[in-house]
A and B are shown apart, each in its own frame.
Chain A
């Protein structure tokens, strides 16, 4: 069974040389992977660490083809939710389907249909960017020609071409995020899941990542990312969910959730102003 396609499904239409060379706003191509209504469907998903309920029976539906932002303060459960959806963390309860496939008990098939940029990136530091992408391509069963072509395209698109022989260990945080994104895009997945992709990234790198993501969305793919940077989410996303203390407290299309207000205000109200306003620290005097 070829592995860069989902099992029992036809192989995804190759978008060709990666995003940078795409025409502006092309019509979404017909794609059997994208036929379902939801890229992610989680029902009653729960996770507990010791005494801490990290995710508390959440229900999350990410419509296919959307740019979906998962918002929440630190420790809200965003990363845990995404880890469970990407097959990196087994939930204690509930179900999660990704691209129409159940993630658990065996997430191998789902992993073939998604691209992930995890919070801690999980790169092989002692490889150059080109070597890293080559091995990722092999693990994803791409042909050598495809690996070569896509690697060159991605490195060019992400402005990493001049550093392609440098070890990832020597990369800046922005470059590391970009190479992680390249690895997630290499097999042209219908769903990209990014955990804090803009965290610690300089504005220039942010710009190139945004540019790529815009083009991914333009191709009818789904992008889900977690963040606590309101301006980025407001600018990029058409759907959002706000998490706090392991629960989803608001979700839906951006316009519905914000109702014309600023996202900052909606977020502050949703998570409770007492958590946003710091205590007075009188003892400092």
Chain B
């Protein structure tokens, strides 16, 4: 019979192992310091808000939503950060005679001794400031501990699930989606200004009504009730919420068990996908589809691509989005504006077609004599990315400004502007390929002679001017007559944009063919 008893000594060794590994990982230490700063600021903000809310009439709802968000963050963060299982890799631990209870205790201990858990407990315990008596204080303390345990277990479950569901691929996709959402939120961040004016606190109560039906909302609901002094309801939800960590524990144990005995390998095998998705092959020719798939994969996997796109974001915003004052005016006509973000985004991301995979550029370039598939294949994932971001921005604007009627024509303008931005980007990427720094933090001396910011900005200005010129008829009709009649204008301007872009693609592909040695030399300089 196997020994299934919990061995605390080895569990403690696991926690110690985590910190020993962290000691040798400067990147993790930097991340932790950053986390300490950001988490500390957030925790301080949360604690001061909680203390200030002491006599607020809807404090129960605000606290409930706030603590629910805290638990949700624990659940979601490992999808993007994914650090936990990299530090204490379960596969490596599986070699040793550690039974499941000991492994779970060790992993939990390693998770509990950390900045996020400490911050969570600190924020939860600050709720004691709302205690009106000893009994309320006891209930609130129990709630705080239960909330922390639930949050930590939710995080562990996600980490184990990520490991189970084909770790790297799943995490990269989840990470991409999250980054996309974050960028979209970044675009719409100016909308927060609207909330300052007439934010409706009743919103919290409305949301609370839904959230308290979710299991992860039960302990937060107990906290909300306790902070209002409703002890009977608080104890009820506390008891209900106590089942959540138990369920999380069982699910986590199952996920760990499946990872330890290699059953996750079968899931990965079953989920293997072709390198080039069949739908890509159906949309474009085989060679373009191959470059497209490769480029999309490079963008998804290469953090430098993300940092580059993120670095362009302020520029896109600066050129293209309405100001806070305009937003506060709630002018529905602003829904017509995001096409400027489209042309800027398409130009900026297309000026660096050989960015992430520059060193491999010659491998792409040599096999064929026609460069169009290579250029088009590299353009497509970038344009799709920008299209998603800008379309999301347009939808958010339409929703906030109550300008749905302007959205169809706005989307058409976005489409034609993407093409124009791509054409301008093509011009720059072949005339003077933009280098991408190998390390975050530096356009340095080694990039000299390669970077062409003036050409890039010049191309952006030209593309913006052309895009404005082609969008003016539609905007004029939309403002002067009707947004529905404006839909007729792109009948002319869309083919014109298509023609201009296609011509640029053809010209630049010929030029690229002639300039392979210079391009390869320019790209090699940075690596």
Whether the Cβ atoms of B97 and A139 lie closer than 8 Å is: yes
A106 in contact (CB, < 8 A): yes
Set of chain B residues within 8 Å of A167, measured between Cβ atoms: 24
Binds B, one of A56-64, A107-115, A230-238, A257-265: A107-115
Q: Which residue of B lies closest to A101 (CB)?
A: B2
Whether the Cβ atoms of A109 and B10 lie closer than 8 Å is: no
Whether the Cβ atoms of B262 and A89 lie closer than 8 Å is: yes
Set of chain A residues within 8 Å of B13, measured between Cβ atoms: 135, 138-139
The 22 sampled A-B contact pairs (Cβ below 8 Å) are A1-B3, A49-B265, A49-B269, A50-B269, A89-B265, A106-B4, A108-B3, A111-B97, A122-B92, A122-B94, A124-B17, A126-B21, A127-B17, A127-B24, A128-B24, A136-B96, A139-B10, A139-B13, A139-B97, A141-B7, A141-B10, A167-B24
B266 in contact (CB, < 8 A): yes
B263 in contact (CB, < 8 A): yes
Per the 8 Å Cβ criterion, residues 73-107 of A in contact with B are: 83, 86-90, 106-107
Set of chain A residues within 8 Å of B254, measured between Cβ atoms: none
1/0 contact string of B23-42 vs chain A (CB within 8 Å): 01100000000000000000
Set of chain B residues within 8 Å of A127, measured between Cβ atoms: 17, 20-21, 24
Q: Which residue of B lies closest to A138 (CB)?
A: B13
Looking at the assembled complex, report how far the CB atom of B276 sits from the nearest CB atom of chain A, in whole angstroms.
20
Q: How far apart sit A88 and B97, CA to CA, in the bound complex (Å)? A: 11
Most-contacted residue by chain A among B20, B25, B95, B262 (CB, 10 A)? B95
B197 in contact (CB, < 8 A): no
Q: Mark A residues whose CB is within 8 Å of B.
A: 1, 3, 7, 49-50, 52, 83, 86-90, 106-109, 111-112, 116, 118, 122-124, 126-128, 131, 135-136, 138-141, 167, 183
Whether the Cβ atoms of B97 and A109 lie closer than 8 Å is: yes
Whether the Cβ atoms of B266 and A50 lie closer than 8 Å is: yes
Set of chain A residues within 8 Å of B93, measured between Cβ atoms: 139
A-B interface, 6 closest residue pairs, ranked by CB to CB distance from nearest: A89-B262, A112-B97, A90-B261, A106-B2, A111-B97, A139-B96
Most-contacted residue by chain A among B7, B96, B266 (CB, 10 A)? B96
Whether the Cβ atoms of A124 and B10 lie closer than 8 Å is: no
Whether the Cβ atoms of B91 and A108 lie closer than 8 Å is: no
Set of chain A residues within 8 Å of B270, measured between Cβ atoms: 50
Per the 8 Å Cβ criterion, residues 49-89 of B in contact with A are: 89
Q: How far apart sit A109 and B3, CA to CA, in the bound complex (Å)? A: 8
Q: How far apart sit A186 and B1, CA to CA, in the bound complex (Å)? A: 25
Set of chain B residues within 8 Å of A52, measured between Cβ atoms: 269
Whether the Cβ atoms of A7 and B3 lie closer than 8 Å is: yes
Looking at the assembled complex, report how far the CB atom of B465 sits from the nearest CB atom of chain A, in whole angstroms.
52
Looking at the assembled complex, report how far the CB atom of B111 sits from the nearest CB atom of chain A, in whole angstroms.
17
Q: Mark B residues whose CB is within 8 Å of A.
A: 1-4, 7, 9-10, 13, 16-17, 20-22, 24-25, 89, 91-99, 261-263, 265-266, 269-270
Q: How far apart sit A88 and B270, CA to CA, in the bound complex (Å)? A: 19
Whether the Cβ atoms of B25 and A126 lie closer than 8 Å is: yes
Whether the Cβ atoms of A88 and B95 lie closer than 8 Å is: yes
Q: How far apart sit A108 and B4, CA to CA, in the bound complex (Å)? A: 9
Q: How far apart sit A90 and B266, CA to CA, in the bound complex (Å)? A: 11
Looking at the assembled complex, report how far the CB atom of B102 sits from the nearest CB atom of chain A, in whole angstroms.
9
Q: Which residue of A lies closest to B87 (CB)?
A: A126
Q: How far apart sit A163 and B263, CA to CA, in the bound complex (Å)? A: 36
Whether the Cβ atoms of A122 and B91 lie closer than 8 Å is: yes
Set of chain A residues within 8 Å of B97, measured between Cβ atoms: 3, 108-109, 111-112, 139-140
Whether the Cβ atoms of B21 and A109 lie closer than 8 Å is: no
Whether the Cβ atoms of A111 and B20 lie closer than 8 Å is: no
Q: How far apart sit A163 and B3, CA to CA, in the bound complex (Å)? A: 37
Whether the Cβ atoms of B2 and A109 lie closer than 8 Å is: yes
Q: How far apart sit A138 and B265, CA to CA, in the bound complex (Å)? A: 28
Looking at the assembled complex, report how far the CB atom of A55 sits from the nearest CB atom of chain B, in whole angstroms.
12
Set of chain B residues within 8 Å of A109, measured between Cβ atoms: 2-3, 97
Residues A111 and B25 in contact in the complex (CB < 8 Å), given A88-B261, A90-B263, A127-B20: no
Set of chain A residues within 8 Å of B1, measured between Cβ atoms: 7
Set of chain B residues within 8 Å of A7, measured between Cβ atoms: 1-3
Set of chain B residues within 8 Å of A90, measured between Cβ atoms: 261-263
Q: How far apart sit A102 and B3, CA to CA, in the bound complex (Å)? A: 14
Q: Which residue of A lies closest to B94 (CB)?
A: A88
Most-contacted residue by chain B among A1, A87, A108, A116 (CB, 10 A)? A108
- Indicate which residue in A123, A126, A138 contacts B10 across the interface (CB closer than 8 Å): A138
Set of chain A residues within 8 Å of B20, measured between Cβ atoms: 127, 131, 135
Whether the Cβ atoms of B262 and A88 lie closer than 8 Å is: yes
Q: Which residue of B lies closest to A8 (CB)?
A: B1
Q: Which residue of A lies closest to B268 (CB)?
A: A49
Set of chain A residues within 8 Å of B9, measured between Cβ atoms: 138, 141
Whether the Cβ atoms of A116 and B21 lie closer than 8 Å is: no
Whether the Cβ atoms of A140 and B262 lie closer than 8 Å is: no
Q: How far apart sit A153 and B226, CA to CA, in the bound complex (Å)? A: 61
Q: How far apart sit A90 and B258, CA to CA, in the bound complex (Å)? A: 9
Whether the Cβ atoms of B98 and A122 lie closer than 8 Å is: no
Whether the Cβ atoms of B95 and A116 lie closer than 8 Å is: yes
Looking at the assembled complex, report how far the CB atom of B253 sits from the nearest CB atom of chain A, in whole angstroms.
13
Set of chain B residues within 8 Å of A183, measured between Cβ atoms: 95
Q: How far apart sit A167 and B22, CA to CA, in the bound complex (Å)? A: 12
Q: How far apart sit A186 and B89, CA to CA, in the bound complex (Å)? A: 20
Looking at the assembled complex, report how far the CB atom of A191 sits from the nearest CB atom of chain B, in whole angstroms.
13
Set of chain B residues within 8 Å of A49, measured between Cβ atoms: 265-266, 269
Q: How far apart sit A82 and B258, CA to CA, in the bound complex (Å)? A: 18
Whether the Cβ atoms of A124 and B89 lie closer than 8 Å is: yes
Set of chain B residues within 8 Å of A106, measured between Cβ atoms: 2, 4, 99
Q: How far apart sit A116 and B93, CA to CA, in the bound complex (Å)? A: 12
Q: Which residue of B lies closest to A106 (CB)?
A: B2
Looking at the assembled complex, report how far the CB atom of A11 sits from the nearest CB atom of chain B, in whole angstroms.
14
Whether the Cβ atoms of B96 and A140 lie closer than 8 Å is: yes
Looking at the assembled complex, report how far the CB atom of A98 sits from the nearest CB atom of chain B, in whole angstroms.
12
Q: A7-B1, A89-B262, A135-B13 known; 14 other A-B pairs, CB under 8 Å?
A: A1-B3, A3-B7, A7-B3, A50-B270, A89-B261, A106-B2, A106-B99, A108-B3, A112-B97, A118-B95, A122-B91, A127-B24, A138-B10, A140-B96
Set of chain B residues within 8 Å of A118, measured between Cβ atoms: 95
Q: How far apart sit A183 and B96, CA to CA, in the bound complex (Å)? A: 10
- Indicate which residue in B10, B95, B265, B266 contacts A122 across the interface (CB closer than 8 Å): B95
Looking at the assembled complex, report how far the CB atom of A94 sits from the nearest CB atom of chain B, in whole angstroms.
15
Q: How far apart sit A127 and B21, CA to CA, in the bound complex (Å)? A: 6
Q: How far apart sit A167 and B24, CA to CA, in the bound complex (Å)? A: 8
Q: How far apart sit A111 and B10, CA to CA, in the bound complex (Å)? A: 15
Set of chain B residues within 8 Å of A88, measured between Cβ atoms: 94-95, 261-262
Q: How far apart sit A126 and B24, CA to CA, in the bound complex (Å)? A: 6
Q: How far apart sit A111 and B92, CA to CA, in the bound complex (Å)? A: 13
Whether the Cβ atoms of B21 and A124 lie closer than 8 Å is: yes
Whether the Cβ atoms of B91 and A83 lie closer than 8 Å is: no
Q: How far apart sit A139 and B262, CA to CA, in the bound complex (Å)? A: 21
Set of chain B residues within 8 Å of A83, measured between Cβ atoms: 262
Q: Which residue of A lies closest to B21 (CB)?
A: A126
Residues A111 and B96 in contact in the complex (CB < 8 Å), given A7-B2, A122-B89, A126-B21: yes
Q: How far apart sit A205 and B247, CA to CA, in the bound complex (Å)? A: 49
Set of chain A residues within 8 Å of B16, measured between Cβ atoms: 135
